[in-house]
């Protein structure tokens, strides 16, 4: 099997060299560039599996690149954000990033996140099992229709576009409809990682899903927040 192809778009040359070396030692094929405009051009021209994208880049800002390629780029997008910068994290997650990693990057954390993302792409059967059972041809919840085999969501008969991360979270919750699911269970099921109590990715993704499902953000009826416990997908 060919190694996963990764594009690292990072303008800090020293950091880029360290990250690229760690990725290559782990067996990945890595290309690097330090400019957002060049990074976007490469993503549109070549079939990368993952892009590690700095949020603030010369040429074209990383968050603008994320916004402009998210619909067309079929691989995973991981944003590299400034440490403890909540604004960067929210911008990345709201823009449809699959994950974010704070800088400076710890190689073991980076590799663990990448393995979790790529493992889900390479093993759809394992994904279905982790999501709570065998794939069904169709799941209906009133106006919400999910077709797992087609990776499709329809609301009131209209197709709704989701990122890969949004779809996986939706399916994970829908397969557990009527059950309260903790953030710990979601993190473990979708990423294979422990929840540290601080990660905001799940909350941001739920917020986006609510909007796309037509759920009221202030009084949601489809994906409810159960205080102190997690989330409940209402059948």
Sign of CA dihedral 173, 154, 206, 10: positive
Give the distance, in angstroms, between the CA of residue 40 and the centroid of all CA atoms in the same chain: 18
In this model, does residue 108 exceed pLDDT 80? Answer: yes
52-101 residue pLDDT tens? 999 889 999 998 999 899 878 888 889 888 755 566 656 666 667 888 88
Q: State the angle between helix axes of 62-69 and 36-45 in degrees (0 to 180), rounded to the nearest 10.
A: 20
Higher pLDDT, 93 or 3: 3
Q: Domains for the chain: give ranges and CATH numbers.
A: 5-122 (3.40.50.2300), 124-233 (1.10.10.10)
How high is the pLDDT of residue 136?
54
178-209 residue pLDDT tens? 999 998 888 877 766 555 555 677 888 888 89
- Residue 28 — pLDDT band, cuts 50, 70, 90? very high
Claim: this prediction has a pTM higher than 0.75: no
């Amino acid at each position: 099997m060919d190694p996963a192809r990764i594009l690292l778009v990072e303008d800090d040359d020293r950091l880029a060299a360290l990250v690229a070396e760690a990725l290559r030692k782990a067996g990945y094929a890595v290309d690097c560039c330090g400019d957002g405009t060049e990074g976007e051009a490469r993503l549109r021209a070549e079939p990368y599996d993952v892009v590690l994208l700095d949020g603030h880049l010369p040429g074209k800002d990383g968050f603008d690149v994320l916004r402009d390629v998210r619909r067309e780029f079929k691989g995973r997008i991981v944003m590299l954000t400034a440490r403890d910068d909540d604004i960067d994290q929210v911008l990345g997650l709201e823009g449809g990033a699959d994950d974010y990693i704070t800088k400076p990057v710890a190689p073991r954390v980076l590799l663990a996140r990448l393995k979790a993302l790529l493992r889900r792409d390479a093993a759809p059967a394992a994904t279905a099992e982790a999501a709570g059972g065998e794939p069904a041809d169709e799941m209906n919840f009133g106006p919400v229709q999910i077709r797992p085999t087609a990776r499709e969501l329809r609301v009131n008969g209209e197709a709704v576009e989701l990122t890969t991360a949004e779809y996986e979270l939706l399916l994970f919750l829908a397969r557990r409809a009527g059950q309260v699911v903790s953030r710990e269970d979601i993190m473990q099921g979708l990423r294979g990682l422990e929840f540290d109590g601080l990660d905001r990715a799940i909350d941001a993704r739920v917020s986006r899903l609510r909007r796309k499902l037509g759920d009221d953000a202030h009084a949601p009826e489809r994906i409810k927040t159960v205080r102190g416990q997690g989330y409940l997908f209402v059948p």
